[in-house]
Amino acid sequence: MLKRIIIVSVALVLPLLLILPARAVDPAVIGERSELVVGVKADYRPFGFRDKEGELAGLEVDIAAELARMLGVTLRLVAVTSSDRLQKLAAGDVDILIATLGDTMDRRRLVRMIEPGYYGGGASVLLPGDSSIRVWDDLKGRELCGVQGALWNRLAATRLLAEIRAFGSVRDAELALRDKNCAGWIYDEAAIRDRLADADWADYRMLAPEFISPWAIAVARDGPLASFLDETVAMWLRTGWLSRLEEKWQLQPSTYLQQAELRWRQKDETGAWRCQLDDNARWPLECRDLDLIPAQELAGIGTAIVGLRDRFGVDLTPFYDPFSRSAFLKAMVTTLLLAIAAVIGSLAVGIAGGAMLRSHAWLLRFPAQMLTTFFRMTPPLLQLYLVFFGIGGLLAARGMTLDAIWVAIIVLSLYAGASNAIAIAEAAAAIPVDAPQRPRRIATLAFPAVMGSCINIVKATAMASAIAVGELVHASTSIIADYGNVGVMMNILLACYVALVIAVVFAFSLFEKKVLER
């Protein structure tokens, strides 16, 4: 039976690993449908945010509107986040990304980054005013909040040896910082400066920016649209249009933008622009931003796996990228420990709760009835949020913090334990008090329901990613945010959970055979 489950699982997963790469969009196609679809941020003031009427606005929205005007089509905006922007581009949900996307060598392997960049900035860390962190070197070994898909998470982890807890949204990262669940929040300097201009963040400060990187428009593949955008951004730099946008949105002058405008305004002795596209639609080397954050150094099997990705679109990131591989392996261990702890905790809660439900003492029975009803009737994800952000926020005001993994273990144990308690109590009610081998008979009768509950809670460990516990879903989502390889990572994730569930089924079956049927 176990062999059959494994064979079926492999048969389901392998065909889904072949994900076709995204296709380039031609301006003619955009013209035919009379619409340009652009992905922009909705949580990054003043580049992309929702105004008082709920409409998307910001510097990058203005860029998108100007492109639509130049193409003579209508504009449709799609809100994206750092964690889903690349996959939306790869899936064809948007034609263009203008979403504070830092230009790096790794990202150039995935999508066509438009040259030159339209803006640029670095990383900073938002810190409480009384923090002992004064310089970047002080971050070594510290735990920082981040946002999944942000460029700076990898840099902070690899170069500064900081521990990164990446949340799925800016809002959750901010809440975690306010609740003192991390020493600081690492993110783009422009976003942090915007926060510090708000009175709500008056008690916070920021580190001087580091890791300056250009921001680029992105399209899925090379083609006429990419060439049009290359020329357009260069024209904007020459005319100062981007600087005027910067002034409109009251941004501090960007060093990158100032230097880029000087470079792209240079002319040769004949009066022609120094930076012009050649016959292959490429800029001269002296005009390109090649001093980018470097790609991972690859050798041996890593080179072969990258070749597989480039040729067939099968991006097995955890097997060639050392950073992603380390994070994924660590996540596997975390998921395993979380699953074991949740199963053991739910069994302990179930046994204790079952005894209380069968108690003749009202003071024991009534609280057990109320608690089992509450934990069974409310979604575990809501419970995680209530405890981590709700109770955690109240405790933070008194100088105490909650550890995310312990919150996940306790909540999941109580959630599954409530179902186990009901199953055990009902089994106990069906077995006479004076029956021989009563405990074993109760366990045998409750066994199917308890096993099902424990299998479900093992799968539910994925919800711990919502509070930035570094388990498999969290690690996979972070990799997808960096590389856009949704299909491959989701099926690797599926294979891991299938293996985990098979292990749980095997352990329970062994217990049934060795203990209950003895």
DSSP 204: E
pLDDT for residue 462 is more than 70: yes
- Mapping DSSP onto H, E and C, the string for 469-499 reads CCCHHHHHHHHHHHHCCHHHHHHHHHHHHHH
My answer on whether omega of the bond before 116 falls inside 30° of 0, hence cis, is yes
Q: How far apart, in whole angstroms, are the C-alpha atoms of residue 113 and residue 135?
A: 32
Task: Give residue 304's pLDDT.
Answer: 56
Task: Give residue 426's pLDDT.
Answer: 92
Residue type, 27: P
Instruction: Say how many Å lie between the first and final Cα of the chain, rounded.
Output: 22
Task: Give residue 352's pLDDT.
Answer: 94
Angle at the Cα of 40 from the Cα atoms of 35 and 41, rounded to 5 degrees: 155
Between 404 and 213, the higher pLDDT residue: 404
My answer on whether omega of the bond before 214 falls inside 30° of 0, hence cis, is no
Task: Give residue 5's pLDDT.
Answer: 46
Task: Give residue 312's pLDDT.
Answer: 55
Q: How far apart, in whole angstroms, are the C-alpha atoms of residue 261 and residue 232?
A: 13
Q: How far apart, in whole angstroms, are the C-alpha atoms of residue 16 and residue 7?
A: 15
Task: Give residue 307's pLDDT.
Answer: 57
Task: Give residue 295's pLDDT.
Answer: 45
Q: How far apart, in whole angstroms, are the C-alpha atoms of residue 316 and residue 19?
A: 11
Task: Give residue 411's pLDDT.
Answer: 95
Handedness of CA 287, 288, 292, 298 (dihedral sign): negative
Per the CB < 8 A criterion, the answer to whether 376 and 370 are in contact is no
pLDDT for residue 516 is more than 80: no
| Cβ-based neighbour number of residue 299 at 10 Å | 7
pLDDT for residue 80 is more than 90: yes
Torsion of CA 149, 392, 379, 489, to 10 degrees: 20
Task: Give residue 87's pLDDT.
Answer: 85
The DSSP bridge partners found for residue 80 are 41
Task: Give residue 13's pLDDT.
Answer: 47
User: Residue 478: pLDDT band by 50, 70, 90 thresholds?
Assistant: confident
Q: Tens of pLDDT along 353-412? A: 999 999 889 899 999 999 999 999 999 999 999 999 999 888 887 888 888 999 999 999
Task: Give residue 56's pLDDT.
Answer: 95
Q: How far apart, in whole angstroms, are the C-alpha atoms of residue 352 and residue 421?
A: 7
Q: Tens of pLDDT along 118-164? A: 998 888 999 999 999 999 989 988 999 999 888 888 888 877 788 89
Per the CB < 8 A criterion, the answer to whether 74 and 98 are in contact is no
Task: Give residue 127's pLDDT.
Answer: 95
Q: Which helix (H) or strand (E) holds 48?
A: strand 48-50
Please give the average per-residue pLDDT across 455-481, as a whole number: 89
Are 22-118+216-297 and 122-212 in the same CATH fold? yes
Task: Give residue 292's pLDDT.
Answer: 59
Task: Give residue 10's pLDDT.
Answer: 47
Residue with tokens 């860029």: 63
Query: Which of these ranges, 168-177, 178-187, 204-213, 274-283, has the smallest mean pLDDT?
Result: 274-283
pLDDT for residue 306 is more than 80: no
The encoded tokens of residue 339 equal: 């699953």
CB under 8 Å to 90, separation ≥6 — which residues?
21, 22, 110, 111, 220, 484, 486
In terms of Cα–Cα distance, which of 314, 320, 315 is closest to 18? 314
State whether residue 33 is helix, strand or coil.
Answer: helix
Task: Give residue 246's pLDDT.
Answer: 92
Per the CB < 8 A criterion, the answer to whether 24 and 220 are in contact is yes
User: Residue 26: pLDDT band by 50, 70, 90 thresholds?
Assistant: low
Please give the average per-residue pLDDT across 414-432, as a whole number: 93
Please give the average per-residue pLDDT across 86-90, as a whole number: 87
In terms of Cα–Cα distance, which of 508, 493, 483 is closest to 461? 493
Query: Which of these ranges, 102-111, 168-177, 254-263, 300-309, has the smallest mean pLDDT?
Result: 300-309
Please give the average per-residue pLDDT across 314-326, as a whole number: 70
Task: Tell me the HSE value of 457 on the side-chain side, using a 13 A CA sphere.
Answer: 32
Residue with tokens 């089509």: 73
Between 349 and 293, the higher pLDDT residue: 349
pLDDT for residue 206 is more than 90: yes
Task: Give residue 487's pLDDT.
Answer: 77
Q: How far apart, in whole angstroms, are the C-alpha atoms of residue 243 and residue 247?
A: 6
Please give the average per-residue pLDDT across 278-287, as a whole number: 80
Architecture of domain 322-516: Orthogonal Bundle (1.10)
Per the CB < 8 A criterion, the answer to whether 147 and 167 are in contact is yes
Q: How far apart, in whole angstroms, are the C-alpha atoms of residue 350 and residue 450?
A: 9
State whether residue 12 is helix, strand or coil.
Answer: helix
Task: Give residue 19's pLDDT.
Answer: 45
Task: Give residue 141's pLDDT.
Answer: 87
Task: Give residue 103's pLDDT.
Answer: 87
DSSP 464: G
Angle at the Cα of 484 from the Cα atoms of 479 and 485, rounded to 5 degrees: 80
User: Residue 270: pLDDT band by 50, 70, 90 thresholds?
Assistant: confident
What are the residue boundaries of the structural domains of the chain, listed by start? 22-118+216-297, 122-212, 322-516
pLDDT for residue 27 is more than 70: no
Handedness of CA 163, 153, 485, 466 (dihedral sign): positive
Q: How far apart, in whole angstroms, are the C-alpha atoms of residue 437 and residue 137?
A: 64
Task: Give residue 28's pLDDT.
Answer: 63
Please give the average per-residue pLDDT across 99-124, as a whole number: 87
Q: How far apart, in whole angstroms, are the C-alpha atoms of residue 109 and residue 451?
A: 45
Q: Tens of pLDDT along 59-74? A: 999 999 999 999 999 9
The DSSP bridge partners found for residue 120 are 214
Angle at the Cα of 467 from the Cα atoms of 461 and 473, rounded to 5 degrees: 45
CATH topology for the 22-118+216-297 domain: D-Maltodextrin-Binding Protein; domain 2 (3.40.190)
Q: Tens of pLDDT along 252-263? A: 888 888 888 998
User: Residue 6: pLDDT band by 50, 70, 90 thresholds?
Assistant: very low
| Mean pLDDT, rounded, of the chain | 85
User: Residue 182: pLDDT band by 50, 70, 90 thresholds?
Assistant: very high
Q: How far apart, in whole angstroms, are the C-alpha atoms of residue 208 and residue 190?
A: 12
Q: Tens of pLDDT along 326-335? A: 888 999 999 9
Query: Which of these ranges, 262-266, 462-466, 485-489, has the smallest mean pLDDT?
Result: 485-489
Q: How far apart, in whole angstroms, are the C-alpha atoms of residue 125 and residue 311?
A: 39
CATH topology for the 122-212 domain: D-Maltodextrin-Binding Protein; domain 2 (3.40.190)
